[in-house]
Amino acid sequence: MSDTFFNPHQRATVEAAMARIIPTDDTPGAREAGCVDFVDRYLSGIGYIFAKPDGSGFEVLEGASAKAWMQRIEIMRERYVAGLLDLDARAHERFSADFVALAPQQQDDILHELEQAGTGAPRTLAVNDALAGPVSPQPALQQTSTEVDLDFLPLMVTHTRQGYYADPIYGGNRNRIGWEVIGFPGPASLKDVHIGRYTTLQYFAEGEADKVREFHDGL
Amino acid sequence: MAYKTKPARTDVVIIGAGASGAAAAKVLCEAGVKVVALEKGPWRKKESFGGDELANINRYNLWPDPILNPRTWRETADDDARSEMFCPVPQMVGGGTVHWQGWLPRFTENDFRLRTVAGDLPGTSLADWPITYDELEPYYLKVEWAFGVSGQPGANKFESRRSGGYPCPPMPISRYAQKFIKGCDALGWNAFPTPQAALSRPFNGRKATVVSAFAQQHGDPTGTRSSALNVFIPDAVATGNFELRPDCVVRELTLDSEGNIKAAIYQDADGDTIEQEADLFILACGAMETARLMLLSKSGRFPNGVANGSDMVGRNVTFHEYSAAVGTYDDPVYAWAGGGYVSASTFQHYEHDASRGFVSGGHIAVAGVGIPLPINWRMPGTPSWGAEAKKNDRDHFSHSLAIAMVLHDMPQHENRIDLDETVVDAWGLPVARVTLKPHRNDVDQGRYLIDRGADILEASGALTIRRVYADRVTGNCSHQHGTARMGDDGATSVLNRWCRAHEVENLYAVDGSPFPTGTGANPTLTIMANAWRVADKIIAERGAAV
Ligand SMILES: Cc1cc2nc3c(=O)[nH]c(=O)nc-3n(C[C@H](O)[C@H](O)[C@H](O)COP(=O)(O)OP(=O)(O)OC[C@H]3O[C@@H](n4cnc5c(N)ncnc54)[C@H](O)[C@@H]3O)c2cc1C
């Protein structure tokens, strides 16, 4: 099974769009973090849905869960294919070139246009909606997301953020770039969490870690 | 294991091995009762959990997959229902406790008699509980000691009488809890360390909880956080009287000629349909699924679902809503440390106060933002992509916190769970349909509590404050109650004070479904304490042999 889905043009377009979603400034952005690799692999099938919790590879999905995931992947593939065509069509209409060939500012213009055309959702979410983050259209502070329901742009925004911040095992967050940018001292690997070697106790209030250190050998 | 033949009759069948089912199993099995628990989901071991936000929060590793387990929601009976993962809870052994962080406050005395305290609230079906705080108090203590809850007795000055302390001292104090305490102090409000289902020190042969950034919504690979999966289930198994059958979905309860429950009909992992008979049946599927199963169990005697002669099954459902005021600070608060949840609380605005113009109040507590990463969260009111979004992530990640509230939504007769005959789950069964419209009281109370959160932020020196008012109840709190009310009157309730169905002698429910009101605090300590109380009653009445 190939672990890519996009053809070269689609891939270049997604990479360019992601580079506007999390741009490179004085710190690396989506391009450097390999967000396109993350999503290309995700859409390649169901071989990369759940990393094994000790970081030793990926779970093989079976039965009903495998079917549900394939159904979801198909929906997202269609959304990307159609969304990328639309992106190029808009780019041609306004600037007579493919999206990838545009200057960053022009790309932003197209993405803003798409955003407004999309669900009619405002560019900046109302305060009431925003706690859902880019994932869920519902205001919901702690609930599972249903990304498959999202329109193309919010879906790609979600995948960009996932690719930037999720554990590097999923193919994005290359060299922990996303974590370094925001200052997250993530675990060395999934295995560290799995065996209980990863702690954030030292970021607690002054002196608190010392109080409990005796209970945690080796931390 | 496939039961191609009919399994032997047993004393008690428990349906659902989550928080309440596991608690009841432990108590019954330890008294010598033979229990078979039928659990829809898998029996996962701690080795299958890890610190993977993408898998756990975005990809249904632990949350129910909405394609397999859909639900629908509508505001009123006149609207079309649409698919929505309303109030999901993990469906697996351990239920919702598998990926909680476990805030375990007790309810207060007045929670059990709010109708008396607050009077009539038009448009609601507000009711007193048939039991009192004092009746439940010994069971609160039992659960706290079984779980090794970390907390500080007396620190919550609004707490009702306790007959004992907590087994473990409070968890370490986070920097964001410090901000919260500072704000409350400045306002003259009481703050206390949130009681947690986590071990601040080794307890009962278990190690102290490893504090990491991956907690809330992540399963615990170390087994050090307390849950039904790693406390009650092993206790029940150790007795030798417990048989837990995972991957078994109960489709229906059947009746015998006397009108008692005869058997639970379930589908096992191989797709075989099995009939399990018992003397007594305990529903513990979570309030929504318990109501659904009752409604699915139609018979000549109960054409509208078992024990539903009163048409009360599914009605008066309450959920809580979780929302927050979000603040930013100059100095880092590292609110991702601790999985966003090791924190501090206040009950200052918990008790009913008529002068506020609405009924009741709720638990306010400080939480991290992000869980832990900005994948699933960003600062309210900011763009979702582009240079500014990136800057926001960078600037706020270590410098923001949320002061959250538990909204005590009011029970209403028209708010209910019923069956959506047009949408079926992966087992071909009609799904739970939620009809739910917030009461004016819910909206007003939510605004009030979030404004108090904002007061705390301001008093603690926050640079910016954003309020996220809850104008709709989305079920995002994953707290569900009320679908099979307990009460003394069979016309207005489904269960009696012992959580036994008024209309069916050998049928009990012990999850959140018996709760006449949802109260303003996290419910699971009370759910488990009540399950323990009911199990004790069953033992007392029938003896160990049932
Ligand atoms: C992310 C998260 C955080 C939470 N944090 C807290 C907290 O801090 N404090 C707090 O008090 N509460 C918290 N909760 C809520 C808590 O998890 C629930 O209140 C609690 O689990 C309810 O217990 P229960 O026994 O009613 O149901 P559950 O624990 O949901 O268990 C029900 C079980 O029944 C099974 N089941 C359902 N239908 C069937 C069927 N037909 N056949 C067989 N089995 C079936 C399900 O698979 C499930 O395992 C949290 C929940 C979530 C999701």
Q: Which range is least confidently modeled, A115-119, B309-313, B330-334?
A: A115-119
pLDDT at B221 (0 to 100): 96
Name the pLDDT band for B544 (thresholds 50, 70, 90): low
For residues A2-27, average pLDDT: 97
For residues B62-88, average pLDDT: 93
Residue A137 pLDDT > 60: no
Q: Using a CB–CB cutoff of 8 Å, tell me whether B101 touches chain A.
A: no
Q: Using a CB–CB cutoff of 8 Å, tell me whether A119 touches chain B.
A: no
Q: What sign for the dihedral angle of Cα B358, B363, B365, B369? A: negative
At B447, which helix (H) or strand (E)?
helix B440-459
pLDDT at B266 (0 to 100): 97
CA distance B195 to A119: 43
- Greatest C-alpha distance within chain A: 67
Contact call for B212 and A193, based on CB within 8 A = yes
Q: What is the pLDDT of residues B471-527, one digit of tens each?
A: 788 888 899 999 999 999 999 999 999 999 999 999 999 999 999 999 999 999 999
CA distance B456 to A184: 26
CB-closest option in A130, A183, A216 to B210: A216
Name the pLDDT band for A210 (thresholds 50, 70, 90): confident
Q: What is the pLDDT of residues B234-263, one digit of tens each?
A: 999 999 999 999 999 999 999 999 999 999
Contact call for A141 and B337, based on CB within 8 A = no
Structure tokens at A168: 């590097």
Contact call for B372 and A184, based on CB within 8 A = yes
pLDDT at B369 (0 to 100): 77
SS3 state of residue B185: helix
Q: What is the pLDDT of residues B161-182, one digit of tens each?
A: 999 999 999 999 999 999 999 9
For residue B267, list its beta bridge partners.
B249, B273
pLDDT at A140 (0 to 100): 39
Residue burial B146-178, b: 16+ Cβ < 10 Å; e: rest? bbbbbbeeebbeebbeeeeebbbebbbbbbbbb
Q: What is the Cα A123 distance to its own chain's centre?
A: 19
For residues B185-201, average pLDDT: 97
SS3 state of residue A98: coil
Name residue, tokens 């891939």.
Answer: A11
Between B468 and A132, where is the model more confident?
B468
Q: What is the pLDDT of residues A96-130, one digit of tens each?
A: 999 999 999 999 999 999 998 865 443 333 333 33
pLDDT at A143 (0 to 100): 52
pLDDT at B546 (0 to 100): 46
CA distance A121 to B143: 47
pLDDT at A128 (0 to 100): 33
Q: Using a CB–CB cutoff of 8 Å, tell me whether A216 touches chain B.
A: yes
Distance from the Cα of A98 to chain B's closest Cα (Å) equals 20
Q: Whole-structure pTM over 0.90, yes or no?
A: yes
pLDDT at B437 (0 to 100): 96
Q: Which residues line ligand 1 (CB under 6 A)?
A: A 142; B 15-21, 38-41, 89, 91-92, 95-97, 99-103, 216-217, 249-250, 284-286, 289, 293, 478-479, 511-512, 522-525, 527
Residue of B nearest to A138 (CA): B474
Q: Please report the residues numbered 120 through 159 in chain A whose beta carbons come closer than 8 angstroms to any beta carbon of chain B.
A: 123-128, 130-131, 133-135, 138-147, 154, 157
pLDDT at A133 (0 to 100): 29
CA distance B483 to B67: 24
Q: What is the pLDDT of residues B135-156, one digit of tens each?
A: 999 999 999 999 999 999 999 9
Contact call for A182 and B200, based on CB within 8 A = no
Name the pLDDT band for A131 (thresholds 50, 70, 90): very low
Q: What residues have CB less than 8 Å from A58, skipping those under 6 apart?
A: A47, A48, A49, A50, A51, A52
Ligand 1 pocket: which of B13, B58, B92, B97 to mutate (most atoms within 8 A of CB): B97
Residue B1 pLDDT > 60: no
| Mean pLDDT of the residues in chain B | 95
Q: B24 burial class (0-12, 13-18, 19+ CB within 10 angstroms)?
A: buried
CB atoms within 10 A of CB B272: 12
pLDDT at A123 (0 to 100): 34
Q: Which range is least confidently modeled, A16-20, B5-9, B261-265, B352-356?
A: B5-9
The ipTM is: 0.94
Residue B287 pLDDT > 90: yes
